[in-house]
């Protein structure tokens, strides 16, 4: 079975897929794979600026016919975080002008149907409104089986080729250092699992009972209180916002019960693509 490595699908966010307008057709699974590959590993290529990188991918805009090029770049030396670039790729599903505000995706209709058109599964089991009664800003409970299905449909073994280049090669250039860093941060967050579970329960209670709750602010407060010195080794990363993003995702997925399958999927990817990092952290989470 062909599979592709987009573990960011799990670690950057589980809440970024959305509905599309009735006049818009979502991408096929293969088109989405390609969009995610470029968004998560590449940047625009400019011959005068970038010289001759080891790998250059040729691309063409299917609507305009414009041809251009991308090349894999080490995400640890890239100033744009994977999370931000991932939003752009998800825009190919939503055709939303607010792709940088994922919570607005849910104000559109047919979210589950648009997702099901691509993956064959509905990702959300239920939505619990926030303290103000809003489902758009409410707490979404994702489905474990759906997460597993998504991973299986997107994942590709390292030896698989894309434009004559193996995914292992792209991974080594772009994601190897970054994901090793992610594994380290996750291991530290989960070092005291009882404390983490306590934080997650408190987060959920506030999210559904406190009318002034703000997820970004709450996550930042938890980081400062419980993980004040935690940061990414990656260059050019804002440690506060990067840790907050990962911590927030983990708290939400702990609450809806999908964190385990998400982390297992991440480890399965590491086992194939970076066994050294897998062996180091396989028992840490």
Q: Tell me, what's the pLDDT at 21? A: 41
| Residues 221, 208: Cα–Cα separation, whole Å | 17
pLDDT tens sequence across 223-275: 999 999 998 888 666 678 888 989 999 999 999 999 999 999 999 999 999 99
pLDDT digits (tens, 9 = 90+) for 10-51: 334 443 433 334 455 677 888 888 888 888 888 889 888 888
Judge whether 12 and 83 are in contact, CB under 8 Å.
Answer: yes
Other beta carbons less than 10 A from residue 187's beta carbon = 14
Q: Is 122 helix (H, G, I), strand (E, B) or coil?
A: coil
Residue 101 banded pLDDT, cuts 50, 70, 90 = low
- pTM attached to this predicted model: 0.83
Note the pLDDT tens digit of each residue in 119-151: 898 888 888 999 999 887 888 899 999 999 989
> Cα angle at 232 between 228 and 234, to 5 degrees?
155
Residue with tokens 């648009």: 114
Residue 88: pLDDT above 60?
no
Q: Report whether 4 contacts 273 (CB < 8 A).
A: no
């Amino acid at each position: 079975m062909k599979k592709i490595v987009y573990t960011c699908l799990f670690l950057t966010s589980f809440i970024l897929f959305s509905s599309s307008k009735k006049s818009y057709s979502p991408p096929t699974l293969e088109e989405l794979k390609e969009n995610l590959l470029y968004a998560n590993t590449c940047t625009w290529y400019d011959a005068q600026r970038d010289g001759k990188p080891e790998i250059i991918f040729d691309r063409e805009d299917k609507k305009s016919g414009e041809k251009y090029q991308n090349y894999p770049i080490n995400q640890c030396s890239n100033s744009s975080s994977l999370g931000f670039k991932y939003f752009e790729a998800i825009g190919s599903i939503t055709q939303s002008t607010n792709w940088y505000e994922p919570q607005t995706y849910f104000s559109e209709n047919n979210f589950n149907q648009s997702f099901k058109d691509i993956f064959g599964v509905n990702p959300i089991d239920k939505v619990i409104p926030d303290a103000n009664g809003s489902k758009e800003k409410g707490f979404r409970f994702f489905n474990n089986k759906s997460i597993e299905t998504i991973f299986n449909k997107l994942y590709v073994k390292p030896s698989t080729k894309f434009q004559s280049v193996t995914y292992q090669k792209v991974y080594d250039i772009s994601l190897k250092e970054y994901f090793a860093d992610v594994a380290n941060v996750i291991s530290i967050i989960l070092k005291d699992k009882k404390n983490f579970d306590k934080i997650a329960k408190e987060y959920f209670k506030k999210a559904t009972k406190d009318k002034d709750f703000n997820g970004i602010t709450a996550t930042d407060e938890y980081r400062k209180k419980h993980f004040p010195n935690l940061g990414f080794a990656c260059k050019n990363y804002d440690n506060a916002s990067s840790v907050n993003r990962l911590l927030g995702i983990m708290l939400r997925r702990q609450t809806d019960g999908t964190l385990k399958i998400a982390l297992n999927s991440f480890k399965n990817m590491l086992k194939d693509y970076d066994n050294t990092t897998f062996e180091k952290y396989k028992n840490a989470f």
